[in-house]
Amino acid sequence: MRIIPTLSVLAIAVDRVVGLETRELFHFSTSVDIENSALRPDGSLLLTTFDQGRLYILNPSVPNPEAELVAALPGATALCGIAAIDTDKFAVIGGIRGNYSYTNETIYTVDFSTNPTNPTIKVVSQIPNAIMLNGMAALPAHPHVVLAGDARLGAVFRIDTDIGNAEIAFKDPLLAAPSNASTPIGVNGLKIAGGYMYFTNTAREVFARVPIDGFGQKICEIEVIAALNDADSYNWDDFVVLEGHDVAYLAQPDNAIAQVSLDGEQNIIVGGGDDHKTLSTSLLVESVGGDYSLVNGLVGDSYCITPP
């Protein structure tokens, strides 16, 4: 999470890391804590925030775009993870934010499928034994079922958004923060690709994956892919994995995006150093005609990427 009043767009070729023109898309009148993002089928960005449970939408493709309020989700002061669970339908995590903990941890659905401008919003599950739900992803074989990481419990919850059932799918020490961590955030970003659940652990400064079955059950031990270089300057947050290319792109707050191959090699490809424009905790990817566009969901930046 970072406080970002401005949304901008930037295009670069990652294999050359050449910056092109940047233009401001939208400027919030006040600072807004944007946490996570998702793409709608029309290319609009859904933005979860710590702004009294408000969900915003922004369409970067229209002239003079503005972030518009979709809804303030009931019973939440902060929204975290978001995942597509059907065509133009999303699951969203929300709760009442405390000090590295939440109460009233809730899973909502936001469904635009019948009305693209006025979605149907439902509370589908409340999870009293959760402490700090963060990243979330839908199971490819059963997209109405989502996995959500709990950064304090060191656990992954499995939630059926059709019937509301929620249970712990598995726990592991590598999902938790060390007991002496100054920032007690364990599992953070979470994605599912190619039979694996990928995740970042902010406190342990690692990017890792674990094989899962079609129902989200852990079937083997966790594999640490990479440990963060320069952990004094950065941490790892959200990310995207490109299936078939053996590469991931990780948000590296405060000011960088890293490319990490699945053999552990890592390089900063955007920002870093004294850069004060690249602010990122949430990343998305679009594929159009075989070309990839990496979208910085936090600030609306878009990067043309050529995977290795």
Which domains does the chain possess? 30-284 (2.120.10.30)
pLDDT greater than 50 at residue 12: no
Q: Mean pLDDT over all residues of the chain?
A: 83
CA dihedral 174, 175, 179, 182 (to 10 degrees): 110
Percent with pLDDT over 90 in the chain = 58
Mean pLDDT, range 265-271, rounded to an integer = 79
CA-closest candidate to residue 58, choices 278, 252, 301, 303: 301
Measured distance CA(76)–CA(97) in Å, rounded: 8
pLDDT greater than 80 at residue 170: yes
Measured distance CA(210)–CA(33) in Å, rounded: 30
Q: 3-state DSSP: the chain helix, strand, coil percent, rounded to 5?
A: 0, 55, 45
- Please tell me the predicted confidence (pLDDT) of residue 251: 80
With beta carbons less than 8 A apart as the criterion, state whether 266 and 229 touch. yes
Name the token pair of 103. 């109460």
- Please tell me the predicted confidence (pLDDT) of residue 299: 43
- Please tell me the predicted confidence (pLDDT) of residue 277: 47
Per residue in 79-94, pLDDT tens?
999 999 999 999 999 9
With beta carbons less than 8 A apart as the criterion, state whether 150 and 172 touch. no
The owner of tokens 């009294």 is 52
Band of pLDDT at residue 240, cut at 50, 70 and 90: confident
- Please tell me the predicted confidence (pLDDT) of residue 111: 99
- Classify residue 230 by its DSSP letter: T
Measured distance CA(56)–CA(219) in Å, rounded: 37
- Please tell me the predicted confidence (pLDDT) of residue 233: 66
Angle 28-30-34 from CA coordinates, rounded to 5°: 70
Mean pLDDT, range 51-60, rounded to an integer = 92
pLDDT greater than 80 at residue 9: no
Percent with pLDDT over 70 in the chain = 76
Query: Which amino acid, residue 292?
Result: Y
- Classify residue 149 by its DSSP letter: E
Mean pLDDT highest for which of 39-48, 235-244, 277-286, 288-297?
Answer: 39-48
pLDDT greater than 90 at residue 252: no
Mapped onto helix, strand or coil, the DSSP state of residue 175 is helix
More confident residue, 161 or 266: 161
Concatenate the DSSP letters of all residues of 289-302 into one string.
Answer: TTEEEEEETTTTEE
The pTM for the full model equals 0.86
Per residue in 277-301, pLDDT tens?
444 445 655 554 444 444 544 444 4
Mean pLDDT, range 35-64, rounded to an integer = 90
More confident residue, 49 or 256: 49
- Please tell me the predicted confidence (pLDDT) of residue 303: 40
Longest Cα separation, the chain: 49
Phi, psi at residue 174, to the nearest 5°? -75, -5
- Please tell me the predicted confidence (pLDDT) of residue 149: 99
- Please tell me the predicted confidence (pLDDT) of residue 194: 95
How would you write 27-55 as a 3-class SS string? ECCCCCEEEEEEECCCCCEEEEECCCCEE
Per residue in 133-149, pLDDT tens?
999 999 999 999 999 99
Concatenate the DSSP letters of all residues of 46-79 into one string.
Answer: EEEESSTTEEEEE-TTSSS---EEEEE-TT-SEE
- Please tell me the predicted confidence (pLDDT) of residue 308: 54
Mean pLDDT, range 27-52, rounded to an integer = 86
pLDDT greater than 70 at residue 23: no
